[in-house]
Every structure is written in C-alpha cells, then in structure tokens.
Amino acid sequence: MSDQGTLATVRRGLALSPELRTGLGGTIVLAVLQMAGRVAIPIAVQQGIDHGIRAAGGPHLGVVARIVAFTLGALLISTLCGYLMTRRLFTVSETALAGLRARTFRHLHDLSMLHQQSERRGSTVSRVTSDVDQISQFLQTGGVQLLLASGQLLVSAAVMFVYSWQLALVVLVAFGPAVGVVRLFQKRLRAVYQASRERTGVMLGAIAESVVGATVIRAYGVAGRTQARLDTSIERLRLAQQDALRTSVTSFSSGEIGAGLALAGVVVVGTLLGVDGELTVGQLTAFLFLVTLFIQPVQIATDMLNEAQNAVAGWRRILDVLDVEPDVADPDDRGVPLPEGPLSVRFADVSFRYPGGPIVLSGVDLSLAARKKYAVVGETGSGKSTFAKLLTRLMDPVGGEVSLSGTPLTSVRFSSLRSRVVMVPQDGFLFDATIAENIRFAEPTLTDARLRAAFTELGLADWLAGLAEGLETPVGERGEALSVGERQLVALVRAYVADPDLLVLDEATSAVDPATETRLQHALDLVTRGRTTVAIAHRLSTAEAADEVIVVDAGRVVQRGPHAVLVAEEGSIYAKLYASWLEQTRG
Amino acid sequence: MLGRGLRVLGHAIRTEPRLFTIGTIGSSLFGLLIIANSYVVGWVIGDIVVPAFAEHRVSTGQLALVAAVFLGISGLRVASIFGRRLGAGFMQFRMQARYRGAVTRRYLSLPPAWHQRHATGTLLSNANSDVEAAWGPIAPLPFAVGTIVMLLGALISLFATDWVLALVGATLFPGLFGLNLVYSRRMSPRQIRVQQTRAKVSAVAHESFDGALVVKTMGREADESRRFGVFVDELRDSLIAVGRLRGLFDPLMDSLPSLGTLAILLLGAWRLRTGAVEVADVVSVAFLFTVLAFPVRAIGWVVAELPRSVAGWDRVQAVLGAEGDLAYGEGTLSGTGPAELRFDRVSYRYAGGPEVLRNVSFTVPAGRVVALVGATGSGKSTIASLAVRLVDPESGTISLDGVKLPDLALSALAGAAAVVPQIPFVFDDTVRGNIALDRPGVDEDAVRAALSLAQADRFVAGLPDGLDTAVGERGTSLSGGQRQRLTLARALAGEPRLLVLDDATSAVDPRVEAAILGALRGADAGASILVVAYRRATIALADEVVYLERGRVVATGTHAGLMASHAGYRDLVTAYEKAERQ
Ligand SMILES: Nc1ncnc2c1ncn2[C@@H]1O[C@H](COP(=O)(O)OP(=O)(O)OP(=O)(O)O)[C@@H](O)[C@H]1O
Ligand SMILES: Nc1ncnc2c1ncn2[C@@H]1O[C@H](COP(=O)(O)OP(=O)(O)OP(=O)(O)O)[C@@H](O)[C@H]1O
Ligand SMILES: [Mg+2]
Ligand SMILES: [Mg+2]
C-alpha cells in the first residue's frame, strides 16, 4: 500500500480532504494573474529596447517612460494578486490539514493498534504531528512556489512561442533530458525520504525509551549500552538524511544542465535566425529573459518536487492509517443500546489470539449472572487480562461470541457500552493533571462535593485528607508523583464515579496494602451491590469474597463455582492455588 | 536577537569549518557565475548578435565559442550547486547529530530527580525539534554568504559599468536587506508561537495515546479528540498567521528586483542618449537584476530562521547546562559475598513537597533478609530508590559495607546493588537483551539460571524465538506477571550483593519467592535482601521487619515480636484473616 505512486497518493488525499479544493478556481486565477505580471518585465524590456532605446534617431525617453509606467501598473496588480492568492491558499490548506490531523487522531483512537501496540508509540504520534507538519510546511513554502512555478512555466512558454516558435522548441528540447532524469529519480527519492522518516521514528523511540527507563538504566549502570544504541540510531538518521540530500541535489542539477543547454541553443539558433532577418535584437534579448523566466521555475519545480516527495511520504503514512478500518468498530446508528438494568454476561465458545501470535484463549464457554460478584484467578500469563479485554470489547474474539444480557457485544452502540461497562486496567494510567481532573475524566460534570463523597464512600477520605493539596494534588506524568498504590486508588475512584452496570477490575488493587484493600473491598461491596462485578486478582482474598470463582489455566476455563466448593475439589488447580495463598498469608 | 543568532551560527562554523568552507566556496562561485552569466549575455548581444544582425552573417567559430561559454558556465554552476548544497546540508546534519548525541548523553547522566521534573514529551522535543530548530539556519547559510559575495560583486561590476546604473543597485540592495530584516522581526514571534503550539500538540497526542486503554474503556474518545482539537485549531491559526505575513512579503520581495529592472530601462535610455553606456551594458544590468531576485531571498531565509534557532538553542543549552548531577566517587567495595546496607537518620522530600521520610534508620546485615512493611504511600519505594542511590537523601547517610554511597563509583554501585522496581520496566529488545543488558559476566548460562530462578523459563521457552524473542516496546507482548518475572531475572542475573525487591514478587508464586530468597540468603555467594512485601509468607522469611508509618520507622524487630507488640503492624498484616472472620 505504501508503495503507491505519488499521483495516486495525492488523488487519494484530495478525496479524503475535499476542503483542500475550496475556492481552488479563484486561487488559480489569482496565481495566473500574478504570473502574468512577472512576464510583463521581459516584454517591457523588449518593447523598451526595440521602440525606445534603439528607436530610429537615438533613444526615445518618452516611449521608454510610458512603457515603464505601464509595466509598473502591471507589477502592482501582480503583487496584489500574489498576496491575495497566498492568503487564500494558506487559509484553505491549513484549515484542511487541521481537519486531517483531528480526524487521524480520532481514527487512531478507534483502532486497537494503540493499546495492542502493533506500532511503536513515537511513530504513531508522528502521524498526527510531524507527518502533517511536513505537508503543511510544503504547502506553505513549496506548494506556493510550485503553483507559481507551474504558472510561470506555462505563461513564459506561451509567450516564448509567440516570440519565436523555433526558439521555443529549442528550449523545450534542451530541457527534455532533464525531465527524463527528474522522473527517473522520483522513485529513488521516494525511497530515501521514506527511509529518513522511518529512521526518525526509530530514533525518537530510542530517545523515549532512554528517558522513560532512565532509573532502570542508572540502577543497572548500563548507560553506555543505551548511549551506544542512541548513537547508532542518530547516526543512521544522519546517513539517511545525507543520502536523501545527495539524491535530490543530483536530480536538481539536471535542470541546471538543461538551463545551460537552453541558453546556448537559443543564442546560437537565435543568431542564425536573426542573420536571416527573422528576429530583431530586442526580440532575441527578450527571449533570453524569457528563457531565464522559464529556467527559474524549472529549477524551483525540480527542487520543490523533491520536497513534495517528502510531504507525500508523510501524507501516505496518514492515509495508510485512515484506510485501516477499525477492527473493533462502533456499530453506531446500526447498533442497539444495552438493555436496562444489571448486566449478565455470556461467552459462547470464545477463542482469541493476538495478531501473529498463538491462541491465548480457547473454548471459553460461560455465563455470568447479573448482580453477582465474580473473581477470575489463574497463573500469570494464563489469559485473564485477555478475558477482561474481550468482555469489555477492547478486542473482538477470533472465534465465538460475547454477549451482555443477550445482546451480542458487536451490535452494542459504544455510547451505551462505554458508559455501562467500565474496566480498570492492570496498569491504571493517570493523566498529568490533578486528582480531581483525573477523576472527572470519567464524569466531567462531577461537582467537588460529589467527588469528595465518592472518596468517602470508598473509605478513602482519610487518605485524601492526608494530601497537602487534596483533590488539587498534581499526580505527575503517568501518575508518577503518587505512590503506585495511591495511583491505583485514584484509578479505582475514577471507575467508581462512572457508575457502570458491569465493573471489570484487572488487578485493580494489586499494590494497595492489605488493610486498605480489605476496607476498600468492603466499601465496594456495599456500593456495588446490584451491579455485576468481575475482578481479576492474584490475591485470593478477592476470590473468597466473590459469589463465584472462575479459574483460568493456559487459556481455558478449568473450574468455576463458589470458593467453598472449589476449595473442596481436592487436587484441583484452585485448591492448590488456595493452599499456597493460605500459606503465604498466614505464614 | 540577530546578534545572538549569529553567535549560535558562529559556533556551528567553528565546529564544522571544513564543510562550511566547501558550502561557502560553492555558493560564492554560484553567485559570481550568475554575474558572469549576465555579462556574457550582454557581451553576446552587444558584440556578436548586434553586428551579426547588422551584417547578416555570423561565423561558426563565434557561435561555437558562445555555446562553449554558456555550457562551461553551466558546468561550473552544477559543481557549485553540489558544493553549496552538500556542504550546507552535511554541515546541518552533522551539527544535529552531534547535539542529539550531546543532549541524550546529558539525559543519561542527569539523575532521576531531574527526570521527574521534566515531561517525556518535552525531553523528546528538546532532542528532536529543538536541535533541529537550533541548526535550521545552517542550510541556507552558505547560500546567504554566497549571495552577499554576489551582491558585492554585482555592485562592483555595476560601478565599473556606469555609476548611474550602479546607484539603482546601491539603493535596491540595502532595500532588500531592510525588507528582510523587517520581515524576520515581524515573523519571529509568530514562528515561536507555532513552535510552542507544535510542542503542545505533540504532548497531548503522546499522553492521549499513552493512556489509550483508559480512554477507550471510559469511552472518552470524543472528549480526547476535543481536547486535541483545541490545540490543533490553535496551531492552525498560528500557521495561518505565519502564512499571511509570508503572503504579504513574498510578492513584495519578488517585485523589488523587477522595479530595479524597470529603473535600469529608464535610466539606461537616458545614459545611452548621453553616450555614457552601450546597449550591451543596459542589457547586462537589466538581466542581472532579473536573476538576482531569487538568491537574495536566501538572506531572508537565514534571518527568518534566526529567532527559531535561538529559541531552540536556548532550550538545548538548558539541558546541556542542567545541574544536579549525582557526583560519584572513586570507591570500590572490597571483598565478595553479601554486603551490609545501613540507613542512618535518613530524611527525604520530593522537590517542593512535604517530607516523605524522616530520620529513617535501619540495617540490613550482610546475608540477611529484611522486610520493609508499611501502608500504601508510607515511603517504601522511596527507601528502595535511596538504597541503590537513584536519589540522594536530604539528610542522613546511607552506606554499603561501611562505604557511604556517594563515595562509590557508579560501576561499583551498579555491580553490587540491584533493585527490582515496583513497576517493571522492559526494554524494546529481546528477552536475552533485557536480562543480560550487555553486562560483562552475564553470559548465556547466567541468563538461563536467572530465568529459571525467577520461574520465567517456562513461558520464555514457549515464546516463538525463545530467548531471542523481541518483547516489543515496554514489553507489551507480555502479560503483567511475565514482565515482572523478566525484571526479576534481570536483577538476579547480575549476582548482586544487595538485592532490593520493591513489591516485585506480587505476581510470583510464593513457593518461587521462597526459593529465590532461599537461594540467595546465607550462602557465601549470596546477597543481602531488602524486600518490600505484604505477604506473611515473605515477611516470615525475613530475619527482621522494619515497619514504616507515614515515612517514619515506628518499629523494628522480628515478625513475631512486632505481631505481639505493635497493633498497627498487626492490623496491616492480618487484614485478610480479619476480613474473612467478619
Ligand atoms: N515523584 C514524587 N513526587 C512527589 N511525591 C511523591 C513522588 N513519589 C512519591 N511521592 C509521595 O511520597 C510518598 C511515599 O511514596 P512511596 O512511593 O515511597 O510510597 P510506597 O510506600 O512505596 O507506597 P506503595 O505501597 O503505594 O507503593 C507518597 O505520599 C507519595 O504520594
Ligand atoms: N499485546 C500482546 N501481544 C501478543 N501477545 C500478548 C499480548 N498481550 C498478552 N499476550 C500474551 O497472551 C498471553 C495471556 O496474557 P494475559 O495478559 O491475558 O495474561 P494474564 O492472565 O492477565 O497474566 P498476568 O496475571 O500476568 O496479568 C500471555 O502469554 C501473553 O504473553
Ligand atoms: Mg493480566
Ligand atoms: Mg511503592
């Protein structure tokens, strides 16, 4: 897909951003007018030389003055048109690109690649930052130039043909090889620019890792190793940049050679023509000026085409993302809301594999009743978190079906699903904001009083009171200014205020101390009575308190039932797990 | 601004004099060739075309000469373009690479406390777009220098031709400079705003994608898009503001040389009448003004980039000049086997915050296991960071085998003490790379032994490429518990003399934990262990328990002793049984 040609990409891009075409007609008219003004200069030179300077009986000042005055007017209009044209172009293109940026951002959130991380984060971010910047930068500088250059090219070519079709042909022939060379280089250019974009992504990833992992790198004294990797990625980017530049200069210089050929050809052929009386000195002089006017845009155009390759590479990366249909799509209008009331769950022969990986869940067949509390236990890597993600439709199973209260999850509208089913993921993420803002993330209209009440209801009022700045305490990046347990408390309150009918907790209190945890559990029991809760936990205290326990092993549900029953099944996985739990907590 | 910008550029020139010289020579040659070209055109028209047209004949020799001259100039120009572009470009890329290296080197040497005060997004843009901005003006720099040479050359040749025509140039060129200056002055605040807004857009995107799972589970995609949209719109507006200014100046800049051409025509006609000049002179000069238009813009590019460059440079310098490095001593630890860890009246506070540890004193005797117990937020992780000197205490001393931590060399410390953090950090590398970290002495056998001790060998064997499986950015393709075991194995593989486990075994079977502690404790080649834990089983394995409340050590002793003597401790560790009884 990303090997698509430039034109195809541009066409695809224009189809996706029709705003780019707004008022294009007017913009082009203005551009042509601006160009016409530029061509006025060589015409003025020709007229001035032929009718003024070399007028019979010596230079005629009046004629020259009249020509100059007239051209001045043309120049003024051209400048004005230039201003209006650029203004229009920038407004339209920046508006369209802002739309594109916002759309891509939203689309990325709709794709599961973000949390499945099929791509490195730095690279994903660059799709809504530097890739779009690349297009904008090109449009702001190169785009105008390219537009003007093409205009100038056309107008000056037309005027050249008016002056002398023979000379015009000479010019075109002279540039023939250059056009061929430039075309030849486009493909290679695309490749080298792509390489330098990719290496930028790799470098950013390496820098991000060295920053996020700074403490571990220090603790293990492996800064040298990290630096070596950074240096490699920095160096590889530099080499790619140099490669791209070398290629683009080579392609550019072919236009320069074309220019030399054109000038030489025009003078030689023009002189021969003039000797035969078919051309005046003024005409030949004007023609030389025209050739310059023709050469300039050819040079600019070859240069800008190189830049364009860079922008198109960015555009292509964006379009590639927008082309991916959300694998877990919101049925939206075609969907239905969840039935009112507490939710029951049904997994019908569900299986799952991560893209390109082995099966991690298979033949999961189970029903969970509404209003009950379930605990999911099992060894590390057995598939518990995967189960939770399927239950909340962060992913769709590769086989079988998940339904809530009889409604297949895939047909539930997201607006209904996300407000009634909430999960606290294993690594609860906090935004770099205050505690209050983090909790309001779930419920933006929450008053401070309600917020405080939520803490009280969960038995966390004391903890909140212990914070110097209370609700306004900043939690730092990813919540790092709080202790790990404290982060979990905030994430839990956040889920609690969302007031879901099905609450899924994936190790939501794994780092909280036992006293706080049991208090919290108790409080949660009181306030979550009436809703369905699924809690994943290593600590079997959660299982003991649940109505039923589901035991997962190597991707299969191997046992389910009330704690008391499962413990009694001698030699069972759960019995062993529980024995070990007892051993560790009662030691 | 101009002065500071030029100083930054001066620094680049001193660093890469060779490339700068190549670029400048190329560019100056380019400029002189442009002037030469104009005069050749004048010469061709005046000395060859006019006589030929008048006499209706021309010799082949003359035509061949003309063609050769034009082609020769063209060839030289190609060479000059290569010199200018490659010289400038390579110089820019080199400076960028050099400073990216320097900035990241700084990141690695600045302490965690510094990192905590700086957002990842900011540090990323320091190393990337700020470095880029700082060296932005390098690309057009030789071109601009060449243009100045060209303008000087043009002025001289103008004066040599005719002083009246030269006056047009003498007014026009400073006019171009002036316009450029006004332009850059008006542009710089707008450019800076764009740069700042870009950083904000990138920061929001980073954070939002980082928290994608939370965004999704709460169904807040639309709100996140709105939050992002605010900055996108701000960026759009500031880019349009830049565009408008450019739209005003660009056509003006384009038309100034045209004005010059017209003036030459008018004055030329007058000078011709007085016989001061010839047709060829007028043609040459008029031609010169036409071709000057473009290169003169290069000066504008440099000037316009300077404010951004200075802004980027300042931000880069802020990193390079950042203070607060942890100074390491030269000391090494003598002997082998477990090392003793001692905290002596240690207090600590996070930047600007309240005191989170006060007068903490305890000892982990050589070869012993000490459990650190305390409620959520009581300061256990802070103690763990202090123990391996990720941060330095506000007051008090911490020592390993009697040597104060600040006296130890980094390699000695890292070789002797290992911490398994509460949140596992996994590198974007293979399983093997993550465990060995290229440390000398950690060979294949050590990796395998550590994996099996951490009970990670079974799941690693199940991975598609075993030890050589890449685990993805931050280990995303692993489950939470698998990541924890991996980091545990990493610590074990280094055979540390002090092992600090910060709640690092929560996902590990207690039997495994017992095996790990058992394998390490006591033995000659073993380690002293400080373990943060809530599990009674773990605590029971400890020789001693340090009980923490709100940053103070409130009790120390054996588990049994504390159970008997301290109600707070009892409540904490027996919470599960109590809950069950109720
Ligand atoms: N980077 C930081 N900036 C400011 N305050 C912090 C920072 N890290 C931790 N704190 C505060 O310091 C105190 C101690 O935190 P610490 O992480 O040491 O607790 P802990 O005992 O490890 O808790 P947990 O059991 O939850 O991991 C807490 O009140 C916490 O809010
Ligand atoms: N994004 C992913 N890509 C590929 N494989 C994955 C991904 N996430 C998890 N896995 C694999 O799927 C299996 C199940 O993982 P899951 O996270 O569901 O385990 P878990 O039961 O939650 O374990 P833990 O108790 O450690 O959290 C594991 O073998 C893991 O390596
Ligand atoms: Mg899990
Ligand atoms: Mg902690």
Tell me what the pLDDT averaged over chain A comes to.
Answer: 86
Residues of chain B positioned with their CB less than 8 A from the CB of A392: 217
Q: Residue with the nearest Cα to atom 3 of ligand 1?
A: A481
Q: Do A219 and B419 touch (CB under 8 A)?
A: yes
B554 is written with which tokens? Answer: 């409130």
Q: What is the pLDDT of residue A232?
A: 95
Q: Among B111-125, B176-190, B426-440, which range has the highest average pLDDT?
A: B426-440
Q: Do B128 and A212 touch (CB under 8 A)?
A: no
> CA–CA separation, B152 vs B154, rounded Å?
5
Q: Which residues, 6 or more positions from A324, have their beta carbon under 8 angstroms from its beta carbon?
A: A107, A111, A113
Closest CA to A503 of A383, A351, A362, A368: A368
Segment among A95-99, A156-160, B227-231, B372-376 with least mean pLDDT: A156-160
Q: Is A473 on the interface with B (CB under 8 A)?
A: no
B135 is written with which tokens? Answer: 């060296």
Whether the CB-CB separation of B31 and B150 falls below 8 Å is answered with yes
Give Cα A483 distance to the centre of its chain.
Answer: 32
> CA–CA separation, A353 vs A399, rounded Å?
9
Q: What is the pLDDT of residue A2?
A: 43
Classify each residue of B240-249 as buried b or exposed e, where b means 16 or more C-beta atoms within 10 Å of its C-beta: bbbbbbbbbb
> CA–CA separation, A126 vs A145, rounded Å?
26
Q: Which amino acid makes up residue A34?
A: Q
Q: In whole angstroms, how far apart are CA A230 and each of A234, A478, B313, B434?
A: 6, 24, 21, 16
Residue holding tokens 């000069």? B285
Alpha carbon dihedral B331, B333, B335, B338, in 10-degree steps, equals 170
Is ligand 1 within 6 A of the CB of residue B469?
A: no
Residue A1 — pLDDT band, cuts 50, 70, 90? very low
Ligand 2 atom with least separation from CA of A389: 18
Is ligand 1 within 6 A of the CB of residue B117?
A: no
Q: What is the pLDDT of residue A323?
A: 87
Shortest CA gap A424–chain B (Å): 8
Q: Do A207 and B124 touch (CB under 8 A)?
A: yes
A window 233-252, beta carbon within 8 A of B: 234-235, 237-238, 241-242, 245-246, 249, 252
Q: Which of residues B163 and A426 earns the better pLDDT score? A: B163
Q: Write the residue in A124, A380, A515 that is nearest to B572 by C-beta.
A: A515
Give, for ligand 1, the residue of A438, A484, A486 to mutate: max count of ligand atoms closer than 8 Å to Cβ.
A486
Dist. CA A385 → ligand 3 center (Å): 4
Q: What is the pLDDT of residue A328?
A: 84
Dist. CA B349 → ligand 1 center (Å): 10
Alpha carbon dihedral A405, A406, A408, A414, in 10-degree steps, equals -30
Ligand 1 atom with least separation from CA of A487: 26
Q: Is B67 on the interface with A (CB under 8 A)?
A: yes
B window 415-474, beta carbon within 8 A of A: 415, 418-419, 421-423, 425, 427-428, 437-439, 459, 464, 472-474
Q: What is the pLDDT of residue B293?
A: 67
Question: Which domains, ranges and CATH numbers included, belong to chain B?
Answer: 2-320 (1.20.1560.10), 341-581 (3.40.50.300)
Over residues B333-348, the pLDDT tens digits come to 888 888 999 999 999 9
> CA–CA separation, B420 vs A572, rounded Å?
33
B575 is written with which tokens? Answer: 């919470």
Closest CA to B390 of B361, B359, B422: B422
Q: Do A271 and B52 touch (CB under 8 A)?
A: yes
Over residues A434-492, the pLDDT tens digits come to 999 999 998 889 999 999 999 999 989 999 998 888 899 999 888 989 999 999 999 99
A183 is written with which tokens? Answer: 């075309």
Q: Residue with the nearest Cα to atom 2 of ligand 2?
A: B477
pTM, two decimals, is 0.85
Dist. CA A403 → ligand 3 center (Å): 22
- Determine the angle formed by the axes of helices A61-110 and A130-137, rounding to 10 degrees: 160
Averaged over B343-367, what is the pLDDT? 92
Whether the CB-CB separation of A141 and B214 falls below 8 Å is answered with no
Longest dimension (CA), chain B: 125
3-state secondary structure of A1: coil
- Partner residues linked to A424 by β-bridges: A505
Q: Is A337 on the interface with B (CB under 8 A)?
A: no
Q: What is the pLDDT of residue B520?
A: 67
Shortest CA gap B69–chain A (Å): 8
Q: Which of residues A112 and A205 earns the better pLDDT score? A: A205
